Amino acid sequence: MKRRRPSFMKDIRRTLFATGIVLAIFSGIALTAEENEDFRFPAVEDLPENAMMPDPFLKPDGTRVASLDEWTEQREYLKALLEHYLYGTVPPKPTPEELSFALVSEEPFLPGSEISGVKQTYQIEISRNGLTHSFQFNLWRPEQEQRYPTLINNYPEHSNSGAEDFSKIEAIRRGYAVVEFDRNDVAPDDKTNANRERGVFPLYPEYDFHSIAAWAWAYQPIIDVLDEIGVADMDKIIATGHSRGGQAATAAGIFDERIALVAPSTGGPWSLGSYRQRDPDDFRGDMDYPVLIQRQFPHWYHPRYVEFIERQNQLPWDAATLTALIAPRPLVNVNSTDDGINNGLAHEVGVRSGMKIYAWWGAEDLCRIHWRGVTNQFGQKGHDQGPEEFLAIYDFADEYFFDKLCGPSSFNTAPNSDTWRYDPEEHPLMIDWDVPATR
């Protein structure tokens, strides 16, 4: 597959991010705004049926977005829509008065003769509403004290290849830092906590966010601490996570624009996959996803989401909506052809529909998927985030952050192929909209 040269990346950063313009895309149905900040949304049963992916350019007044000048306000509508129907309302990051932290431990990180780094553990404490909640994160970095591109991962399910240190070793070899935190310490991954009595929730009683949003929100105080201690290059922060952690990484990118590259590992329709367009013969080809949440994971999302049971075509968003809130920042979904949980076509059309939106920004090449084949050099199998996924993330980051030629990782192609896994001509996007004619 033909690749753009690194100068393309530099041009995108200069022309898009230097402007400070924020992309926001509203999806699905016109809403009514009260003042300019308070929005009213229809009851789920009143939302219209739509077999196509909702138009991400539809404005609240029923007209369509025509220029970048409209995006900042439009982005707020879209975020509010997702908070209302999916995430619950998400708190702002802690204020300096609410946030404190301390270095708990430090030790050498010497996994091999060629790698020499440091591992540190920090404890974050948040005090609010007369309560205090704390959680820790681990930081691996090269020995020299300076700012590094930094990958943040929410308690990764480590590779079934056994290469648990791979992400840190490869990061230090390339001059990156890695952060991992246990999302359970932020909010227990336990369906008995759907009432939000444990974790960080009691500190924020006026916000009705649930566990996925809480894990995503936790990236924000971590980024604040990384900035305060002078470790993270604040223009080069990567958010990743696997499975449910991938869902949180996507949400983190939506709610914190300091995250420069978003890299969910799998995550289904809550990260990059489409609800409406799936391969019926592949995994979860006809699953009613809100039923899955109701039965197994009621703590993940707001209870309003389960009202979409047997109403998935009434969802006022789809994959393009989530992608739009991240564009034009780089986005890569890492996945496997034998995942066993996620639907392959859903993820691939999520990227293809995202590419249309990115193309409107002149950044089509920054929306990607990486497929791991049934076999690989690391022995990875199935639903997993391991060495091959981290190589793809770092290769993409090197290309974007440092204008390096594309590394050995493949993007937007099936394994051992030079084209998509699913033929776009056989699977045209289920959309009835196009991007605006002007920027």
In this structure, what CATH number is given to the domain that contains residue 344? 3.40.50.1820
- Within-domain flag for 83: no
Query: CA angle, 69 as apex, 253 and 224 as ends, to 5°?
Result: 30
DSSP characters over 165-189? THHHHHHHHHT-EEEEE-HHHHS--
Please state the domain count of the chain: 1
Cα distances (angstroms) measured from residue 167 to each of 120, 238, 264, 271, 385: 16, 13, 15, 21, 10
* pLDDT at residue number 38: 59
DSSP characters over 298-339? TTTS-GGGGGGTT-GGG-S--HHHHHHHHTTS-EEEEEETT-
- Within-domain flag for 47: no
- Within-domain flag for 426: no
- Within-domain flag for 207: yes
- Distant-in-sequence, close-in-space partners of 373: CB < 8 Å, separation ≥ 6: 336, 337, 415, 416
Beta bridge partners of 361: none
- Within-domain flag for 29: no
* pLDDT at residue number 59: 86
How far apart, in whole angstroms, are the C-alpha atoms of residue 67 and residue 61? 15
Cα distances (angstroms) measured from residue 215 to each of 157, 172, 299: 15, 25, 12
How far apart, in whole angstroms, are the C-alpha atoms of residue 370 and residue 55? 26
How far apart, in whole angstroms, are the C-alpha atoms of residue 233 and residue 227? 8
- Within-domain flag for 206: yes
Q: Do 304 and 331 meet the contact criterion of CB atoms below 8 Å apart?
A: no
CA atoms within 13 A on the CB side of 288: 13
How far apart, in whole angstroms, are the C-alpha atoms of residue 125 and residue 221? 10
Q: Do 6 and 404 meet the contact criterion of CB atoms below 8 Å apart?
A: yes
Say if residue 35 is exposed, middle or buried (CB neighbours under 10 Å; 0-12, 13-18, 19+). exposed
**What is the extent of the structural domain holding 119?**
6-22+97-290+317-402
How far apart, in whole angstroms, are the C-alpha atoms of residue 245 and residue 429? 27
Check whether the bond before 328 is cis (ω within 30° of 0).
yes
- Within-domain flag for 304: no
- Within-domain flag for 90: no
What would the two tokens of residue 310 be? 């047997």
- Distant-in-sequence, close-in-space partners of 280: CB < 8 Å, separation ≥ 6: 286
Q: In the structure, how many helices (H) and strands (E) does the chain have?
A: 10, 11
Residue-by-residue pLDDT tens, the chain, 439 positions: 334 444 555 555 544 444 333 333 333 333 333 333 458 899 999 999 999 999 988 988 889 999 988 988 888 899 999 999 999 999 999 999 999 999 999 999 998 878 899 999 999 999 999 999 999 999 999 999 999 999 999 986 666 666 679 999 999 999 999 999 999 999 999 999 999 999 999 999 999 999 999 999 999 999 999 999 999 999 999 999 999 999 999 999 999 999 999 999 999 999 999 999 999 999 999 999 999 999 999 999 999 999 999 999 999 999 999 999 999 999 999 999 999 999 999 999 999 999 999 999 999 999 999 999 999 999 999 999 999 999 999 999 999 999 999 889 999 999 999 999 999 999 999 999 999 888 8
